[in-house]
């Protein structure tokens, strides 16, 4: 096509038509017909050329898209992720799997059946397996990625989900090969757990490393074949939702069991000797089970870590009543003791319960004592001073108690200063101020100039110094003390620590809004000591 068709119509022809339109004149019929014919031919030629060019444009566009895709593939060949060793990719896949598992917890409340299948199938790993052949091989061919088995009661609610769940369980067990397993069986409500699934799981009990059962104790009858076949089991948690069965003897022989958690003292679970089990936890107990749980401490040794976690909310409707746990005298060689209160409670009930525990125990080898409240700071522990002083004397804490955490304990300055002289062996001490939250809890400033001066070592009378061996002081404070007094205490501890560096961790209460900045000169001296390596120091981010 000539260039004249690509440009505007001929100028003379254009002018002629405009003159005719303005003058209302007419061309002779033959000339007008010729003009129509010429214009029609030119329009047709333009349409043909546009169609040809359009087809070429589409062809070029498709070609460019293909080239762009090839270019992107070439760029992908240079991606650093392609050079990652399989070992690192495996770790990334495991982190992704665990992260998705945490993020999906919320969805359990909206579609438990779907989420139960999603979790059992290890759906995040299946998604990764679709990226490329290499990722497919790693995701499905690495047994260590397929070591978590979770069976929830939602899997057994319909024949369809039951059938799918059995296939997924078999696949997961096969893909895991001989790797150690982490097993979780949950059945808080609904139909009994699917017997064939538990029996299939039991066939692999030799691979169990950790097992948690949050289900009716009667469900455990499907696991009879695991008895004596738990050579690698290290962690066991039994949280029965009902206990109307015979004693559970499945776990009597577990030569590597080191951590045990039981949530109901009404269910008798036979376990290996406590001397073998390093960490023992009684969790979510009602107050009626405290007596029995404490009595088992007589079987513990210095190597044991013992945790007692209980509720007092069964007394909230009996505010005027007193709690008498009636704990018989129990002597225990346990080395570490943690007491945790769950839920809400009345202050006097807390003091009575804790006092009853203290009064019933003698702990001649205890090295570490910790207190935790689930809803701190609205419900802090209330300190039973007289019972603790008696426990100190009876157990000779002055020779061996090295760590005491009172973060969640409402103890007054006077009571603390009365306790510390009985604890000269303390190496680690954690204390806190307190504040009321939404009308609950207490307002208390424990960390004052008086306390800090009492903790300041003196060269004139070392025998009178409090906790002279203290190497770590952990404070949660309202900063209602003098900075210079705080500095003097730190300096005295640093100068006394010829061998072991003194460490101070200073935090501000989480909800405290009336904080202040410490003196810059004091902060400077502390940071200089830390820079020289003479002081371990952690200060609030605002300082």
Domain boundary assignment for the chain: 3-78
Dist CA 252 CA 533 (whole Å):
50
Give residue 516's pLDDT: 76
Whether the link from the prior residue into 48 is cis, omega within 30° of 0, is no
Dist CA 470 CA 459 (whole Å):
16
Give residue 88's pLDDT: 94
- Burial class from Cβ neighbours inside 10 Å (0-12, 13-18, 19+) for residue 401 reads buried
Give residue 190's pLDDT: 62
How large is the greatest C-alpha to C-alpha distance in the chain, in angstroms?
Answer: 133
Give residue 346's pLDDT: 86
CB 421 within 8 A of CB 458: no
Structure tokens at 342: 């769950």
Structure tokens at 485: 């007094």
Give residue 432's pLDDT: 94
Structure tokens at 11: 């100028």
Give residue 110's pLDDT: 46
Give residue 5's pLDDT: 47
Give residue 512's pLDDT: 63
Give residue 106's pLDDT: 46
Dist CA 411 CA 409 (whole Å):
6
Structure tokens at 316: 């909230």
Question: Helix/strand/coil (H, E, C) string of 343-411?
Answer: CCCCHHHHHHHHHHHHHHEECCCCCEEEEEECCCCCCCEECCHHHHHHHHHHHCHHHCCCEEECCCEEC
- Which residues neighbour 379 within 8 Å (Cβ) at sequence distance 6 or greater? 341, 343, 344, 345, 350, 373, 440, 441
Structure tokens at 439: 């009308």
The distance in angstroms from the start CA to the end CA of the chain is 81
Question: Helix/strand/coil (H, E, C) string of 494-538?
Answer: HHHCCCCCEEEEEEECCCCCCCCCCCHHHHHHHHHHHHCCCEEEE
Question: Mean pLDDT, 10 residues at a time, over the chain (543 residues)?
Answer: 51 79 80 85 91 93 93 85 90 88 52 81 92 92 93 87 93 94 84 84 96 87 92 93 75 93 81 88 90 92 94 73 87 96 89 94 97 88 96 97 96 96 96 86 91 89 84 93 94 79 88 73 92 88 61
Give residue 513's pLDDT: 57
């Amino acid at each position: 096509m000539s260039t004249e068709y690509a440009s505007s119509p001929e100028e003379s022809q254009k002018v002629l038509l405009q003159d005719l339109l303005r003058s209302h004149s007419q061309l002779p019929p033959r000339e007008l017909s010729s003009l129509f014919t010429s214009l029609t031919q030119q329009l047709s030629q333009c349409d043909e050329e546009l169609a040809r060019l359009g087809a070429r444009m589409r062809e070029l566009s498709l070609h460019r898209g293909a080239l762009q895709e090839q270019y992107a593939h070439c760029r992908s060949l240079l991606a650093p992720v392609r050079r990652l060793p399989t070992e690192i990719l495996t770790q990334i896949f495991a982190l992704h799997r665990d992260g998705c598992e945490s993020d999906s917890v919320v969805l359990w409340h909206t579609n438990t059946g779907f989420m139960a299948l999603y979790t059992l199938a290890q759906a995040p790993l299946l998604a990764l397996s679709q990226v490329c052949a290499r990722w497919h091989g790693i995701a499905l061919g690495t047994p260590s990625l397929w070591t978590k088995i979770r069976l929830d009661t939602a899997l057994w609610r319909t024949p369809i989900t039951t059938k799918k769940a059995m296939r997924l369980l078999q696949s997961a067990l096969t893909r895991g090969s001989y790797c150690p397993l982490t097993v979780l069986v949950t059945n808080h409500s609904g139909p009994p757990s699917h017997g064939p699934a538990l029996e299939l799981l039991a066939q692999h009990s030799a691979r169990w490393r950790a097992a948690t059962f949050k289900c009716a104790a009667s469900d455990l009858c499907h696991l009879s074949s695991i008895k004596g076949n738990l050579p690698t089991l290290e962690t066991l948690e039994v949280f029965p939702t009902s206990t109307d069965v015979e004693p559970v003897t499945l776990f009597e022989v577990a030569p590597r069991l080191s951590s045990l958690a039981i949530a109901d003292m009404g269910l008798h679970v036979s376990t290996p000797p406590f001397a073998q089990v390093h960490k023992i936890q009684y969790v979510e107990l009602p107050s009626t089970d405290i007596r029995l749980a404490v009595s088992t401490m007589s079987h513990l040794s210095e190597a044991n870590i013992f945790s007692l976690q209980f509720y007092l909310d069964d007394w909230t409707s009996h505010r005027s009543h007193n709690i008498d746990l009636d704990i018989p005298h129990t002597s225990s060689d346990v080395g570490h003791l943690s007491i945790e209160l769950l839920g809400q409670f009345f202050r006097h009930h807390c003091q009575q319960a804790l006092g009853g525990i203290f009064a019933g125990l003698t702990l001649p080898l205890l090295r570490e004592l910790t207190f935790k409240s689930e809803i701190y700071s609205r419900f802090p522990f209330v300190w039973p001073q007289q019972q603790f002083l008696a426990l100190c004397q009876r157990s000779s804490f002055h020779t061996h108690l090295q760590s005491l955490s009172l973060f969640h304990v409402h103890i007054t300055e006077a009571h603390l200063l009365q306790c510390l002289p009985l604890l000269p062996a303390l190496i680690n001490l954690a204390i806190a101020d307190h504040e009321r939250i939404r009308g609950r809890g207490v307002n208390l400033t424990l960390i004052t100039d008086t306390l800090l001066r009492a903790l300041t070592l003196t060269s004139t009378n070392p025998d009178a110094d409090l906790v002279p061996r203290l190497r770590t002081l952990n404070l949660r404070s309202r900063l209602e003390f003098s900075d210079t007094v705080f500095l003097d205490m730190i300096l005295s501890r640093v100068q006394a620590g010829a061998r072991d560096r003194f460490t101070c961790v200073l935090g501000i209460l989480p909800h405290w809004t009336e904080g202040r900045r410490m003196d810059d000169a004091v902060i400077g001296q502390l940071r200089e000591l830390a820079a020289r390596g003479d002081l371990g120091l952690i200060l609030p981010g605002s300082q």
